[in-house]
Chain A
Amino acid sequence: MTASQLAVEGLSIDYEVGTGRYHALSDVSVTLDPGRVLGIVGETGCGKSTLAHAIPRILPEPPARVVSGRVIFQGVDLYAVPKWKLPLVRGTGIGMIFQEPLNSLNPAFRVYDQLAEAVIIRQRREAGLAPMFRPEQENPFDYSRHPRVRAGEGLTGPFVGSVATDRARRPRVPDSVRGEVLEYLRLVRISDPESILGRFPHELSGGMRQRVMIAQALSQRPSLLIADEPTSALDVTIQAQVLTLMKELLAEIRTSILFISHDLGIISEMADDVGVMYAGRLVEHGPVAEIFGRPRHPYTKALLHAIPSRYKADGDLDSIPGSVPNLSRLPTGCCFHPRCALARRECGEDPPPALVPVDPAPTGRTERDPPHSSACRFFSEVEGLP
């Protein structure tokens, strides 16, 4: 398959809050091929979560405003389709695991209801009872298998799949829903899934809730899964469990993952490719081994250097001098130049450099790997930095 699963092209998003305008994303472009894991790393406030929420278009607009760019999912620009069609892409097309598992389950619904809703949505779409996103067709939002279309009635706008129409012809929920719910709970290694079906989210521990969340996202078998810091709210042991689990699941359900984290260790474990973000820009992008082995952007280098090492017990922890720039008043030129050891006069004056491919491909790079590119003019000097 030549077409990529997801292509974000030059996406710029501003937040308009009060009088200020915050440039959360500036000209971000990434692509993700089927079956691959793209990790996005960066400090807090660099736009990782904005990117994650912008892809399925769940950013509240306003305050968010898409200034330019496109998000192309399986060949369809999601920012060009009418809003009411978006639910068809979500769930079975793009699934998401959120940062805070504690708030991501509806407190009024039992675990069973939460999961059953997701399973039923997928089953109905697969059975042709609900409209489904079909990228391979000319009109990807296909209603042709919908009973009302087959009956020659036609569909009336946004009320497709609404409560009223759903209830009117909702087929009896097949017994398979319960079976599937249990199956996915087992998949996320909940040892006795039947015991938690009747529980409310507040009766589960954080780790359990996170797994229910993951089960919910997976039960829709999305072709793209966005994991927005899925483990940051968990302690280390559960984090390890969840990550192991996700890696195992990758093999079980073939899906591409956009994995967002500020934890470089997790990214190096999980990702095939890595994008490094700084102040709303993608500053370096490439296969994971090359990014971590031979970083070609001073920010990546500094970030890797700042990882606390247990072998280096003496002295202070390393950090990057300075702080993340205010997104409403970005520095001119390269955003990183005020903190950069390599910075020269042109870094602060010329417009920010674009991502350019670095070095010839080293041995071992496969055809599927993206080229290693960096947004630094002096990437060849990065290796010489401490």
Chain B
Amino acid sequence: MSLEDLKKELEEIVEPSSVHTRDYDRNGCLLEIRAERSRLLSIAQAARDAGFFLEFITAVDFTEGPIAVYQFNECNAVSRIQVKVQLARGESLPSIGRVYDAALWYEREVFDLFGIRFDNHPDLRRLLLPEDADFHPLLKEYGKVHAFRSAREIYVDQDA
């Protein structure tokens, strides 16, 4: 299934206004979806049915709370899509591990480094850090960082 078909399908799952077309030369991806956390599983399922694979899951820490970033891609042509979910601090995400097996480790990594919990994850242990670690290193409050900003400051020109 092509990116256009998936886009139409996604516009039924989320509000059409939260599906943004991106410039490949400027962002490296073609489609960006600002989603609610409750829609995540349906989006992942649609991507899986369309033959996309999960490229990675990560998060970026902001003052208003972390943004989780999911990236899907397809093998035949450049059709990279990013799904961004703004979370409040301490909020959890639904696990998409039963749609994509690859997500199981990525979710463990995000839990490990950012402390974001994933509901219904079968085995949410730390992945990279030792089991008895009591910190989440990629949060901006930890260690030496240059800046701790609000998401609106960084994605200023992208919300149009």
- A and B associate in one complex: no
Residues of A at the B interface (CB closer than 8 Å) are: none
Residues of B at the A interface (CB closer than 8 Å) are: none
